[in-house]
Structures are given as structure tokens and as C-alpha cells.
Structure 1
Amino acid sequence: MFRNIKDEAEAINIQNKLNKLIVINNNFDFKGLKRVAGVDLAYWKVSDIEYAVCCIVVIDSSTEEVLEKVYTVSSVSFPYIPGCLAFRELPLVIETVSKLKAEPDLYIFDGNGYLHPRHMGIATHASIYLNKPTLGVAKSYYKIQDVDFTMPENHKGAYTDIIINNDIYGRAIRTHKDVKPIFLSVGNYIDLETATEIVNRLVSTESHIPIPTRLADIETHRIRTMYKNVGTSSANNQG
């Protein structure tokens, strides 16, 4: 997947074509939401070789019980191009999803979706291949067209919309009082109001980001440390 892309222009051309497949409406009865997957990746280098791990943690959204954990470790060959991160990450995401025993109802990515110059952040790009609702939650703000976000009021649940050219790209949300905001954008097959409600519901007292992506982030750090400590000569082994 994406291995034959020649340059940034070709990658952007693909994004512009896929952009027409974005549906920011609910295509799922989210009142029956149960299995929610958090997706995160981490990188490291050994000599001149770059590696990445993709971790997916699935929880029961009602009980917060962890239902499943899977991961994939591999070398990464696609270069880092700002705005084209999905071309690096999506092959690992797809491979890791294939290891899940049951399909999640929703994927939450540590990253952006619609909040992207071409509305094609990793959450949106992945949804087209997964054919499942997705949303993106980023811990830092991705500035587009020099537009800054407005800081939400300092109370739980406060938010401000990120508006660029009269289009709402996403939201800055304060999930706890006295903590910095997170940046939510829809991925696909879900609207912003529903995404906001789900994110606020899945935030615990222990973290200002949703439980599934927090657990996935913890897993990526654990696996990365494990592979760095034992060496990466067998880094294409997958768990």
C-alpha cells in the first residue's frame, strides 16, 4: 500500500480524490456504541533504519473494560511529509486491524481527521479503508492557513470551534478544568456533535484524552521500549 507513490504531489493528488468520499454524518446508531478502539503509533531509529509500532486497544465503552490489544512492529520506508502522515502510518494500521478478533464500532485515532489542509488526516484517510466511523483526537494543534484556535473557557466540557474559510474543521475541547485542551475532528461517518459527546464520555479522571487512545499510547511506549532494549533485528515480528 502506497509503496509506489513517487512524490508529495502524487500523495496530495490521492488525498484530493479521496476527499470526495468524506461523509460527516452519522451512519451508525451510536446509542448502541460498545466496542471502541484507540489507535496510536510510535517511532524509533536504529542506525539508519526507522521503525514504528502501531497499537490498538479496544474497550467496552459502557464498562471501560479492555476487550482486546493488538500491535504490529515494522520498519518504515515512506518518508515524513507534512500533511501526508497517513501514507506512513496506514499500512501498519491496516495490518494491526486485521489482527482484531472482533470489529470495533468506532476507531479513535491519536491524530487528526477533518482538521487537515485537505480534510485527510489519518483518522479520515483510514476510515475509507476500514469502512467504519472514525474520529481524531490530537494533543497538539495543527495550524492550517495560519489560523489559531480560541482557547475554551476553563471548565470541563467547554469548547471552541476551529473555523477556517467558514468551515468548521474541528474543536478545541477542555475535558477537565485547569488542563490544556485537546483537538477533536471527525474522521468519517460521524458528525461533530456526536464525536464531542463520545469523547467527553470516554475521558476519565486520570487523563484529559479518551481512554482508548490513552491506553494505546501507553502500549506504544511499552512496546517501543521493549524492542529498543532487546534490539530490532527481529522487528518485523508482530504481536
Structure 2
Amino acid sequence: MNNFDEKKRIQEFSTIQRELLPQINLENKFQVEEIRYIAGVDLAYWDVDEAKYGTCCIVIIDYFTKDVVEKVYSYGEILVPYIPGFLAFRELPLVIEAVEKLTLQPDLYIFDGNGYLHDRHMGIATHASFLLNKPTIGVAKSYLKIQDVDFMMPENKEGAYTDIVINNEVYGRTLRTTQNVKPIFVSCGNWIDLDTSTEIVMNCINNESRLPIPVRLADLETHKIRKKLIER
């Protein structure tokens, strides 16, 4: 992609993000006790000759038992290049294709990526909410610095957190889900508040990972599906 094409795409993508921004609502659109099924979403990539391919895996768990109740995946060629700040435009086509294969309707989606914790508050978890029409949470393994603002490390104890505040606004949260393990970065996607997002994420942690169960399982599934597709 040449510089002109990239500039044009960035302008188009920025316009879409600005149009969606006023529709973000960081309040719960649901009663927490109504949550039953939670979906984890992740993607993995590989190259074939000069083409880039990806697979999106969605794993749904029962929020109470933590049992897996459904798994689906989609795959295909990735037609949008990676442009920082515009990951949703690259990944959402495969996400939606996978969602359309689900027989169960999740009450909430957790994405391996950011939501409101984004330079324009439009990480993939937030952007996806408008297509899924469901509450969403973003959970990232690392922090992409916004406006030169770094995060403060939380205490070394389970459930400790510090908020990431930029221009007097809370963008997201650095959360230590497990003692002696690196923190993760939690942000609202849409139609949910940050405290509820944190509560749900912590309720989906076990001793196998610092990531919430549905996201960790979706991540494992992407590696398995990618290997299968490459071998095919």
C-alpha cells in the first residue's frame, strides 16, 4: 500500500471512528446477575507467499460453571494492512464471520485487545460493540502508550489495580489478576462500566493464566486452528 492509499484509508477510518464516538455509553446496559454466557475473541495470522491470512476464534463459556459451551472459527485473507489505531478495520470482517456461525447468543464479549483505552476511544472491543449489539470488554496483554502517558504498576496482590488517567479522564485500568504475575489492561468496550468490567474479568480468572478464561481459550484455539490451516 502506497503512502497516498494509506493516508486515504486513515482519513476514512478516522471519520468512521468520530461518527461512532458519541454513541459510546460507559454504563451497564444489563443486570450483572443476568449474565450467563461470555464469549472470548482472538485472532492469529500467518503468511502464504506474499498474502496475509488470519483466523478468528470465539469461545463461549458459562459464566457460572466456566465450562466451554461453544467454539467457532472463521479464516480468510486479510485485506486491510496493519495501521496503528485502526486494528478493528483489519480484524472485524473475520470476527463478524465467526459470530454468524454461533448457535448460542453470548450476553457479553471479551476481546483480546483494547476498548476505550485507545487514542480515540475506539479500540476493537468498542468498535465491535456496534456490530454485535452486545456489551463488550477489552483486555490487552500490553499497553500501547497514549499521549505519552504511562501506566502505574498496581500492588503485587490479586485484584490490585491502578487507573490510566489521561487529561483527567479514565481511559482504562491496569489490573493484576494474579500475584507475582504481570498485570493486564482492562477497558470498557461499550454499554458497561469499568468496575463491572473489572469484576467480570476477575471472576473469569483461574490459576492457569493471568487472562480471563474465555480470552485465554480463544487464544489457544487460534494457535490450534492456524496450525491446522497451514498444514492443510
Q: TM-score, with normalisation over the residues of structure 1?
A: 0.93
| CA distance in 2 between partners of 1:29 and 1:6 (Å) | 42
2:209 is aligned with 1:207: yes
Write the deviation string for residues 180-221 of structure 1: whole angstroms up to 9, x where unpaired: 000000000000010010101100111100000000000000
| CA distance in 1 between partners of 2:212 and 2:65 (Å) | 14
Residue 228 of structure 2 aligns with an amino acid whose one-letter code is: M
For residue 125 of structure 1, what is the aligned residue in structure 2?
127
For residue 69 of structure 2, what is the aligned residue in structure 1?
67
| CA distance in 2 between partners of 1:153 and 1:35 (Å) | 31
Residue 196 of structure 1 aligns with an amino acid whose one-letter code is: T
Q: Give 1:20 deviation, angstroms.
A: 1.0
1:115 to 117, 123, 126: 117
| CA distance in 1 between partners of 2:182 and 2:91 (Å) | 26
For residue 182 of structure 1, what is the aligned residue in structure 2?
184
2:102 is aligned with 1:97: no
SS at match of 2:94: helix
| CA distance in 2 between partners of 1:141 and 1:72 (Å) | 27
> Which region of structure 1 is more displaced relative to structure 2, 220-229 or 154-163?
220-229
| CA distance in 2 between partners of 1:6 and 1:27 (Å) | 35
Residue 166 of structure 2 aligns with an amino acid whose one-letter code is: I
| CA distance in 2 between partners of 1:33 and 1:8 (Å) | 36
For residue 4 of structure 2, what is the aligned residue in structure 1?
none
Residue 103 of structure 2 aligns with an amino acid whose one-letter code is: K
For residue 27 of structure 2, what is the aligned residue in structure 1?
25
1:39 to 38, 41, 57: 41
| CA distance in 2 between partners of 1:90 and 1:14 (Å) | 14
Residue 213 of structure 1 aligns with an amino acid whose one-letter code is: V
Residue 132 of structure 2 aligns with an amino acid whose one-letter code is: L
| CA distance in 2 between partners of 1:183 and 1:142 (Å) | 10
* Number of residue-to-residue matches in the alignment: 226
For residue 220 of structure 1, what is the aligned residue in structure 2?
222
Unaligned runs of 5+ in 2: 1-6
SS at match of 2:25: coil
Residue 180 of structure 2 aligns with an amino acid whose one-letter code is: D
| CA distance in 1 between partners of 2:8 and 2:33 (Å) | 43
Residue 226 of structure 2 aligns with an amino acid whose one-letter code is: R
SS at match of 1:62: coil
RMSD: 0.9
Write the deviation string for residues 64-119 of structure 1: whole angstroms up to 9, x where unpaired: 11000000010011111100000001111111101100210000000000000110
Q: Give 1:11 deviation, angstroms.
A: 0.6
| Identity across matched positions, percent | 61
| CA distance in 2 between partners of 1:220 and 1:80 (Å) | 19
For residue 83 of structure 1, what is the aligned residue in structure 2?
85
For residue 233 of structure 1, what is the aligned residue in structure 2?
none
Unaligned runs of 5+ in 1: 231-239
| CA distance in 1 between partners of 2:9 and 2:139 (Å) | 28
Residue 84 of structure 2 aligns with an amino acid whose one-letter code is: P
For residue 229 of structure 1, what is the aligned residue in structure 2?
231
| CA distance in 2 between partners of 1:145 and 1:163 (Å) | 11
Q: Give 1:6 deviation, angstroms.
A: 4.3
Residue 20 of structure 1 aligns with an amino acid whose one-letter code is: P
Q: Give 1:229 deviation, angstroms.
A: 1.8
Residue 134 of structure 1 aligns with an amino acid whose one-letter code is: T
For residue 158 of structure 1, what is the aligned residue in structure 2?
160
| CA distance in 2 between partners of 1:33 and 1:201 (Å) | 12
